[in-house]
Structure 1
Amino acid sequence: MSESKKARTALRSPLTWLVIALALGGAAWWWSGTQKVAPKGPPAGASSGTPVKVEAARLQDLDIYLRGLGTVTALNTVTVRSRVQGELIEVLFKEGEQVKAGTLLALIDPRPYEVALNQAIGIQQQNVAQYENAKRDLQRYQTLRKQDSIAPQLLDTQAALVRKFEGQIKSDQAAVDNARLQLSYTRITAPISGKLGLRRVDAGNLVNANDPLGMVVITETQPISVVFTLPENDLPAVRQPMLAGQKLEVDAYDRADTRRLAQGTLISIDNQIDITTGTVKLKAEFKNDDDALFPNQFVNVRMKVRTIKNALTIPAGAIQQGNRGAFVYVVTEEGTAAVRTVKIGDRTAESLVILEGLKEGDRVVLEGTDRLREGAKVRIIDPSRAPRPDAQPVRAQPRSGAPGSVRP
């Protein structure tokens, strides 16, 4: 068979036509896929330009705060100790409870001190009896002396004896009072109002007078104080309102500086500056009705020193620094970025006052400034739709029924 006949026979074979059909189908599929890849650039309907987040400059009353680090300090702290020696027969307090001044806390066995009191009273009564007898004898001697029946020396001796017993009675009264005082010390009471700590001795133990450890510690926590420091440069801003009789508000925040624990007022400023740190100590007082502040707790302090009325403010994050000083990017009416040099006044953690360079309503750029230049086209985005920094890049893929669409 000739070569031409063999070729015609191969073309008539079904397997050959199947291979040709599969090749043509694959080429058509590849061609359609390349035509449906999403074009580069923003999707249809989206405006071009650098995406930015903006906020308008506005007039408002701005509170100026000074910040410092402080430690909570109890106004009074007392270690309750026994003033006499004896057996502790009863403990009447619960650990951690609030007590008032004069509250009975514990009892020491009073019997030895009752005996000592009775003994002092008995000696006093004996001397009182002798004193009264000596006084009666003195009256008799005075009568006899008027009748010239006794010698003057006898009258003088009896008068001296009476004065001796008078001094003895005063000494006996002091001994009785001391014995009664020692007996009162067997009833241990709270010297101040405050919160009790942990009990350091149990009933049945022998306690000694003025034991260094004591029985319990009482701290006055309502009210309570916070001692904090400020740089010496901030001292004039604090002294001026205080000298004018104004009470400065002080807020105490937790260690993370996110939750306000209590609000109080400044009560005093230290009389000298610490030369090693260049700071000055201040003390604020808080009612602390809910026990939010605890002695020796670390807190962040914010103190409002004044309020600026109708201040032109912008967010602190909008400020940029350059060769000409502070500046901001402003979005113009044409949708482009413009550089404005500004003069900054007072500031807080979130906002700052603009003295020159802006007017109310100017839209300053908060996010996206790293890609901006003078005159660059910008696109204002919704903060809720702002792309996340960790977002993955969008990958264009063909999608059936929607030529040129983008699937994330």
Structure 2
Amino acid sequence: MLKKIIKNKLVLLATVSAISASAQMPQMPAPLVGAAKVEIMVERAVKSYVGNIMASEEVQLSARVAGILTSQNFIEGGMVKKGDLLMTIEDTTYKARVEQAKATVDQIEAELDFATSNYNRQKMLADKDTISRATLEEAIRLIALTKAKHDGAKATLVDAQNELSYTRIFAPIDGRIGKLRYTYGNFVNSASEPLATIVKVDPIYIRFYISERDFLNLFKTNEEMKESASMSITMANGEPFSGKGKILLVDNKVDERTGTIAIWATFENPQMKLIPGGYVTVLLSEKSDEQQVAVPLSAIMIDRIGSYVYVVNQENTAIRRDIVVDTVVGDKQLIKSGLEPGEIVVVSGNNKVVPGSKVEIGKR
């Protein structure tokens, strides 16, 4: 009997000690999670396409006259303005041609003055019947020939002046200039490769190809596509591009070989992040009047039951909410049912959440 009493006391003592120890154990802190509000979106994703980056304008600078390249007045890879003097070609020969052409014009003008005076004299004499008709006609012929020579000399002068002007190469557009293919002192002429290339990169063009089926299903007509298409692009490193864009041109025919239509879009590119010749991913969306709620993709959890999110209530308790998902728009998941606008969902730290437990919302 005594042993039984002692045993019961020991059990009671152990139970009390366990309860006391449990009471003294600190409560586990609520896990820190990132959260975001459920949003309303008025467009839905359609397709993604590979886009080719193209300059909105491109000009190749070529030598129009022959000569030694005497100066370079730009920084390779830098920006230039329309009208900037970029390069010069040795102009000694061309200046001499201009002076020679001017002298020829002056000489023929003197001849023209003489021919005109001679005609006037012959005309007066002919009116008095003191010379033959043939003499007057010869004076007329002389003045006509001299005028023709004068016109030819003036044309030669203009041509010489143009050639002289071609020894100074100016920027025809605003843009970014590339590397100079010929260094100072090299001989260049009209048969040489282009000296350099200027590309206009703001705005920039993006060309991509959409299947005929997608085009007809989504937009039907060129004008409808221009008006209703919403577009964004992702750069080669996976980062979204912030510049605004719009559809510029829908090609006028379908490529018979591929069944696709070429589309050109234009984007603002003030920081020149998009470089001609590169590639981007074009995300093309059709604007819709139908509103849908959306959450970041990182909020979506999936198990054997289906898709769900953790909704955080006013008491900072995380509650599991089963949802029905729709399509994806960029980094957003459209939701068919299960969520209301303005609700708070967990978007990071999801694996630390225990349904029905408290959470602490930190920065996303």
TM-score when normalising by structure 2: 0.72
Find the aligned partners of 1:381 and 1:318 in 2 and give their Cα distance.
Answer: 17
Q: Which residue in 2 is equivalent to 1:206?
A: 187
Q: Which residue in 2 is equivalent to 1:351?
A: 333
**Given the alignment, which residue of 136, 146, 151 partners 1:170?**
151
**Given the alignment, which residue of 204, 209, 227 partners 1:246?**
227
**Given the alignment, which residue of 167, 171, 176 partners 1:186?**
167
Find the aligned partners of 1:88 and 1:260 in 2 and give their Cα distance.
Answer: 41
**Given the alignment, which residue of 194, 215, 228 partners 1:235?**
215
Find the aligned partners of 1:185 and 1:156 in 2 and give their Cα distance.
Answer: 44
* Mapping for residues 5-404 of structure 1, pairs under 5 Å: 60-66=40-46, 67-212=48-193, 214-236=194-216, 237-238=218-219, 242-243=223-224, 246=227, 248-311=229-292, 347-348=328-329, 350-354=332-336
Amino acid at match of 2:208: F
Deviation of 1:312 after TM superposition, in Å, equals 5.4
Find the aligned partners of 2:335 and 2:263 in 1 and give their Cα distance.
Answer: 27
Change in 2 beyond 3 A, CA 1:310/1:179: closer
Q: Which residue in 2 is equivalent to 1:388?
A: none
8 Å CA contact 2:55–2:199 kept in 1: the answer is: yes
Find the aligned partners of 1:134 and 1:261 in 2 and give their Cα distance.
Answer: 73
Q: Which residue in 1 is equivalent to 2:16?
A: none
User: Which sections of structure 2, spanning at least 5 residues, go unmatched?
Assistant: 1-34, 311-319, 348-353
Amino acid at match of 1:203: Y
8 Å CA contact 2:68–2:90 kept in 1: the answer is: yes
CA deviation profile, 1:28-77 (whole Å, cap 9, x unmatched):
xxxxxxxxxxxxxxxxxxxxxxxxxxx9x978334323422111100122
Deviation of 1:295 after TM superposition, in Å, equals 0.6
* Structure 2 counterpart SS, 1:291: coil
Deviation of 1:246 after TM superposition, in Å, equals 2.7
Find the aligned partners of 1:222 and 1:259 in 2 and give their Cα distance.
Answer: 18
Deviation of 1:185 after TM superposition, in Å, equals 0.6
* Structure 2 counterpart SS, 1:167: helix
8 Å CA contact 1:61–1:308 kept in 2: the answer is: no
8 Å CA contact 1:72–1:296 kept in 2: the answer is: yes
Change in 2 beyond 3 A, CA 1:104/1:329: closer
Find the aligned partners of 2:61 and 2:308 in 1 and give their Cα distance.
Answer: 65
Q: Which residue in 2 is equivalent to 1:10?
A: none
Amino acid at match of 1:351: Q
Larger radius of gyration: 1
* Structure 1 counterpart SS, 2:244: strand
* Structure 1 counterpart SS, 2:139: helix
User: Which sections of structure 1, spanning at least 5 residues, go unmatched?
Assistant: 1-54, 332-336, 367-377, 385-408
Change in 2 beyond 3 A, CA 1:296/1:339: closer
* Structure 2 counterpart SS, 1:273: coil
Task: Kindly report structure 1 stretches of 4+ aligned residues shifted beyond 4 Å.
Answer: 312-322, 327-331, 337-340, 344-347, 357-362, 378-384
Residues paired across the two proteins, number: 314
Deviation of 1:239 after TM superposition, in Å, equals 5.0
Change in 2 beyond 3 A, CA 1:78/1:281: same
8 Å CA contact 1:249–1:263 kept in 2: the answer is: no
8 Å CA contact 1:319–1:328 kept in 2: the answer is: yes
Amino acid at match of 2:333: S
Deviation of 1:274 after TM superposition, in Å, equals 3.1
Deviation of 1:242 after TM superposition, in Å, equals 3.5
Change in 2 beyond 3 A, CA 1:161/1:217: same
Change in 2 beyond 3 A, CA 1:86/1:329: closer
Find the aligned partners of 1:188 and 1:285 in 2 and give their Cα distance.
Answer: 29
Find the aligned partners of 2:322 and 2:289 in 1 and give their Cα distance.
Answer: 27
